Amino acid sequence: MNKFSYFSFLMEKYFDGSINADERAVLREMIGEEAGFQKLFVEHATQESNLRSILKKQKETAPVSASRRRTARYHTKKKQFLWAWAAAAAAMLFAAAGFFIVSYSPDGAGKEGIIAQRPQKGIKPPKETASSSSPDVKKPGHYPHIKYGLGHQGGDSGTGPGDPSGEGSRIVGAPGAGSMTGTTIGRGKGRGLLFSRDFSQYSEGTTPTGLSVSRENGASVETVETVRVLHVYPGCTVRAGILAWKDYTAEIECKALPEGEEDFSFHIRTMNGQKYYSFRIRGAEKKALLYRKSGNSEKELRSIQFEAAADTWHTLRASAVGNTLSLHIDGNEVMLYDGVEWLNGYIRIQTGSSCDLLIKRLAVAETNKKK
Partner 1 sequence: MKKAEYMSEKKKNDILRKLITYNSMLSGYIYSLAEDWAVVEEALQETAVYMCEHWKDFTPGTDFGAWARTVAHMRCREVLHREGRQDRIRKSVSIHIPDNVWEEYSVYPAEKKQALTECIQAVGKKSREIIRLRYEEGKSCGTISRILKKSVDAVYMALSRIRQALKKCVEEKLSGDTV
In this complex, which beta carbon is closest to partner 1, that of residue 8 or of residue 181?
8
> How many residues in the chain?
371
Candidates 2, 20, 22, 58; binder of partner 1 (CB under 8 A) is 58
Q: State the minimum distance, in angstroms, from the CB of residue 36 to partner 1.
A: 10
Distance CA 191, CA 371 (A): 9
Q: State the minimum distance, in angstroms, from the CB of residue 101 to partner 1.
A: 51
Candidates 3, 22, 55, 207; binder of partner 1 (CB under 8 A) is 55
- Contact set for partner 1, span 25-54 (CB under 8 A): 27-28, 31-32, 35, 38-39, 41-54
Among 222, 238, 273, smallest CA distance to 112 is for 238
Within its chain, how far is the Cα of 291 from the centroid?
A: 26
Q: Cis peptide before 144, with omega less than 30 degrees from 0? A: no
- Contact set for partner 1, span 59-118 (CB under 8 A): 59
Distance CA 199, CA 245 (A): 22
Candidates 3, 56, 73, 77; binder of partner 1 (CB under 8 A) is 56
With a CB cutoff of 8 Å and minimum separation 6, the contacts of 24 are 14
- Name the residue type at position 94: F
> How many Cβ atoms are within 10 Å of 11's Cβ, its own excluded?
21
In this complex, which beta carbon is closest to partner 1, that of residue 48 or of residue 261?
48
Residue 184 near residue 166 (C-beta atoms within 8 A): no
- Contact set for partner 1, span 169-228 (CB under 8 A): none
In this complex, which beta carbon is closest to partner 1, that of residue 38 or of residue 80?
38
Distance CA 184, CA 175 (A): 10
Distance CA 132, CA 4 (A): 90
The region of 56-64, 72-80, 94-102, 179-187 touching partner 1 under the rule CB under 8 A is 56-64
Q: State the minimum distance, in angstroms, from the CB of residue 49 to partner 1.
A: 4
In this complex, which beta carbon is closest to partner 1, that of residue 14 or of residue 279?
14
Please give the residue ranges that form the binding site for partner 1 (CB under 8 A): 5, 8-9, 11-18, 24, 27-28, 31-32, 35, 38-39, 41-56, 58-59
